[in-house]
Chain A
Amino acid sequence: DVKVTQSSRYLVKRTGEKVFLECVQDMDHENMFWYRQDPGLGLRLIYFSYDVKMKEKGDIPEGYSVSREKKERFSLILESASTNQTSMYLCAISRGMNQPQHFGDGTRLSIL
């Protein structure tokens, strides 16, 4: 079974805080992705990584950064949290080209 672990299921933070969301995989997959999912807007890609220390912007990278220092761990960072970043955040992994993505359980983040 594919195992993707996100550090928190629910998180509440305050505006202006620096927020870290962690994603860990045990599958040795090259590709890792961060999405946010909002009602009516669907899944939107924030950032992805195709190798250690390599990252690419997705469709909505503003206000976010990422870090991938080890193959199994991909972190999403909200530099200065704002209320419009309240959302469900989903991490996904995939093995390579034309392969499906597998998701973690998600983190429901509330910024107050």
Chain B
Amino acid sequence: QKEVEQNSGPLSVPEGAIASLNCTYSDRVSQSFFWYRQYSGKSPELIMSIYSNGDKEDGRFTAQLNKASQYVSLLIRDSQPSDSATYLCAVARSGGYNKLIFGAGTRLAVHP
């Protein structure tokens, strides 16, 4: 079992729809969770951090965390073609030094 799992996609949604990206993790003691967006040929860019169970909203983005189910998700409302990218889920490793474990990423395609 991979430590951080994401569906590789591609996830295809029409413009204006809600895109839902999911991530599961294996380490029960993980405390910090991050979503990154990566455009083709570019480096990952942080879009959301979440530390507590529940929802966290930032503009069109909502991160959801359920530690009991070891599940974190990212919702993108009113999806735009510019949201087309690979979304990486990252989970802080236990044991210090702020190392992150990255999922392989979900490719999102928003079509007009």
Contacts and interface: CB of A to CB of B under 8 A. Distances in A.
Partners in one complex: yes
Interface in A41-56: 41-43, 45, 48, 50, 56
Interface string B36-55: 00000011111001010000
Interface residues of B, number: 22
B69 interface: no
B97 A100 contact: no
Interface residues of A, number: 24
> Is the contact region of chain B dominated by helix, strand, or loop, or is it mixed?
loop
A31 B98 contact: yes
Nearest to B2: A42
B61 interface: no
Interface of A: 31, 33, 40-43, 45, 48, 50, 56, 58, 90, 94, 96-106
